[in-house]
Chain A
Amino acid sequence: MKILILGYGNTLRKDDGLGVYAAQTLSPLVESSDVEVYTCQQLSPELSPMLAKADHAVFIDAATTSSGENPGEIHTRSLQPRTTRPSGITHHFDPETLLAMAESLYGHAPQAVLFSVTAASFELDEGLSPEATAALPVLVEQVQEYLSALGEK
């Protein structure tokens, strides 16, 4: 079973880099050769062939605050390939669109899940906010638990 972990974000925009930091933390902890950890600044169409080769995909990203959420909160949701096509390629390519591309172009989209952490700051700076820093080890543990559960299936 091939698993792809995709941590993405801009490490020069404070908590936006959380997905990258989480993937970098996970990388040495992953022992199975069936698990690939990949980091990038943003999602782009060139990732779709890689996704199409995976059975499971784990996306890790920072999220903007919506009502009732506190910075540092971790959310998990399963993803489906997007059925409505976006109007174009922008700098905001989302995981559902990427899954749709994989399915449409290569005939397969993996089962996918998104781990997101509500960010406290997207300001121009390196490093994480105190809230995101506190969330990082919890997030890594949750992803590891998710991977373990997949292995038991």
Chain B
Amino acid sequence: MTQKIMIEQVTRIEGHAKVSIILNDDGGVQDAQVHVTQVRGFEKFVQGRPFYEMPSLTARTCGICPVSHLIASSKACDQILAVRVPPTAIALRRIINLGQIIQSHALNFFYLSSPDLLLGMDGDPVKRNMFGMLDKHPQIVRDGVRLRQFGQQVIERLANKRIHPAWIVPGGVASPLEAATRDQILSEIPEVLTIINRTLDWYKKSLNNYQEYIRTFANFPSLFMGLVTKEGRLEHYHGNLRVITARGSMLADQLAPDEYESFIGEAVEPYTYLKSPYYKPLGYTDGMYRVGPLARLNVASECGTPQADQELAEFHCLDKGAVLSSFHYHYARLIEILYGIERIQQLLNEPDILSENVRAHASVNNYEGIGVSEAPRGTLFHHYKVNEDGIIQSANLIIASGNNNLAMNKGVLQAARYYVHPDKLTEGMLNRVEAVIRAFDPCLACSTHADGHMALQVELFAPDGSLLDSLNRE
């Protein structure tokens, strides 16, 4: 008789999800599914709106990474205008995108995931959170607060608003950078570099404590995809897509993001509102790929900043081919924070960074625009079609978290098979399943373009479909 375990309300993630664990007649785990239970329909209701509203409209899909949507959306609109965005505007967009990545990675690592790492997967769930760390690990909490604050302040100082700023616009940015703002951010770089280096030192030394999780948290072969420069360096704004195999060999390189429909398919599964993108040449589901910090570091040959390059070289030694364990998303986030800080410093020191030429103006010159960038959680696609008046006729958004859907489901199945023993179901067991999802850092409200809050529900079902057990947390 098949049985099913449900984790209702996955906690410490962005959005709402539940997990079903289906048991076979022998009591073993037969299958596991992550259900994303919300839908919002952004692609539908933006139809009929003027294209220049799209950055502000689509940024509302998310309160964590609105800047990422502003970037991808504005890039799509740049194509509709058919303008050459001034180089200073591109540099400023890069800076704010990196500020976004720093604050989002700090949120996941320090606020959401480090309680599992420092207080234990079996710790009291009431205390297994950021507040539970105040007494035993105040320095780590302070470091997390400061890094997230730095990323948010980069956004706020450039765009005058931490959440949903309207500064990134089609054709460039709304206003130039002031010297005082540049100097203020630059003056804080040494402090935040010290913090992230201290965190990396601690984390690398503690990796041995997590060997079991490294082995069991979504550790399997898959493709990896991310933007790279022409030289194969880490890239978050422009560039082309690179796809590598689990062995680390190149499957495709310098794929034009504008042609994404030729190599990315979007499958629909009946149990979730989240689509399942896949690499078309290998078919569904062999074309399963991962995106985000782990994938970006796997596909990049180097970062292009001195300290992050040293860390990347060490990171690449974790596995013979690509680094396969999704537990290493945490490590990759820390390296990307380091890279982000160094790269912001480089960009702020560029000679033309204070130029007042930051926006190109035009009307509709193309009826189609595709904007692709790297958001904190992975590659983000915005694709619009407009009529001659610039009114949106259709929109397609492939969100970073959605790209990871197939891998996240497979990872949950792997963890469930290893940790879930239905005869003695425990909270700690289910927390490990949740922690796999947390490692991917999915933003589910974003990826389904959905409304609501996020929490996790786990349910255990018998082979006949009857509910045996359930765990529900807000």
Q: Which A residues are closer than 8 A to B by beta carbons? A: 40-41, 45-46, 48-49, 85-91, 97, 101, 104-106
CB nearest to A86 among chain B residues: B131
Q: Which of B127, B138, B474 contacts A85 (CB 8 A)?
A: B127
B11 on interface, CB distance cutoff 8 Å: yes
- Flag B333-374 by CB within 8 Å of A: 1 or 0 each: 000000000000000000000000000000000000000000
**Known contacts A40-B162, A46-B152: A89-B111 contact under CB 8 Å:** yes
Distance between B99 CB and nearest chain A CB, rounded to angstroms: 13
Q: Which B residues are closer than 8 A to A by beta carbons? A: 11-12, 63, 111-112, 125-127, 129-132, 134-135, 138, 141-142, 145-146, 148-149, 152, 162-163, 453, 474
Q: Which of A40, A46, A88, A101 contacts B148 (CB 8 A)?
A: A46
**Known contacts A40-B162, A45-B130: A91-B142 contact under CB 8 Å:** no
- Chain B residues with CB under 8 A of A45: 111, 130, 145, 148
Apart from A87-B129, A88-B129, A101-B131, list 13 A-B contacts with CB within 8 A: A41-B163, A45-B111, A46-B149, A49-B145, A49-B146, A85-B127, A85-B131, A86-B129, A87-B126, A89-B112, A97-B131, A104-B134, A105-B145
Q: Which of A46, A85, A88, A101 contacts B12 (CB 8 A)?
A: A88
Distance between A148 CB and nearest chain B CB, rounded to angstroms: 30
Contact indicator A88/B130 (Cβ below 8 Å): yes
Contact indicator A89/B129 (Cβ below 8 Å): yes
A49 to B143, CA, bound (A): 11
- Chain A residues with CB under 8 A of B125: 87
CB nearest to A48 among chain B residues: B145
CB nearest to B144 among chain A residues: A45
A-B contact pairs, 9 of them (CB 8 A): A41-B163, A48-B145, A49-B146, A87-B125, A89-B12, A89-B111, A89-B130, A90-B474, A105-B141
Which of A40, A45, A49, A104: most chain B Cβ within 10 A?
A45
- Chain A residues with CB under 8 A of B145: 45-46, 48-49, 105
CB nearest to A97 among chain B residues: B131
Contact indicator B162/A85 (Cβ below 8 Å): no
Distance between B392 CB and nearest chain A CB, rounded to angstroms: 22
A99 to B92, CA, bound (A): 35
- Chain B residues with CB under 8 A of A97: 131
Distance between B15 CB and nearest chain A CB, rounded to angstroms: 12
Contact indicator B127/A104 (Cβ below 8 Å): no
A105 to B134, CA, bound (A): 7
A121 to B131, CA, bound (A): 32
Sorted from nearest, which 8 A-B pairs have the closest CB atoms? A46-B149, A85-B131, A88-B129, A104-B134, A45-B145, A105-B142, A87-B126, A46-B148
- Chain A residues with CB under 8 A of B152: 46
Contact indicator A85/B149 (Cβ below 8 Å): no
- Chain A residues with CB under 8 A of B130: 45, 88-89
A88 to B438, CA, bound (A): 15
A137 to B298, CA, bound (A): 57
Distance between A27 CB and nearest chain B CB, rounded to angstroms: 14
A127 to B63, CA, bound (A): 21
CB nearest to B145 among chain A residues: A45
CB nearest to B152 among chain A residues: A46
Which of A40, A88, A89, A104: most chain B Cβ within 10 A?
A88
Distance between A4 CB and nearest chain B CB, rounded to angstroms: 15
A91 to B455, CA, bound (A): 12
Distance between A80 CB and nearest chain B CB, rounded to angstroms: 16
Contact indicator B146/A88 (Cβ below 8 Å): no
A106 to B111, CA, bound (A): 17
A87 to B11, CA, bound (A): 11
Distance between A102 CB and nearest chain B CB, rounded to angstroms: 10
Distance between B110 CB and nearest chain A CB, rounded to angstroms: 9
Contact indicator A101/B134 (Cβ below 8 Å): yes
A90 to B127, CA, bound (A): 14
- Chain B residues with CB under 8 A of A106: 142
Contact indicator A85/B132 (Cβ below 8 Å): yes
A29 to B125, CA, bound (A): 46
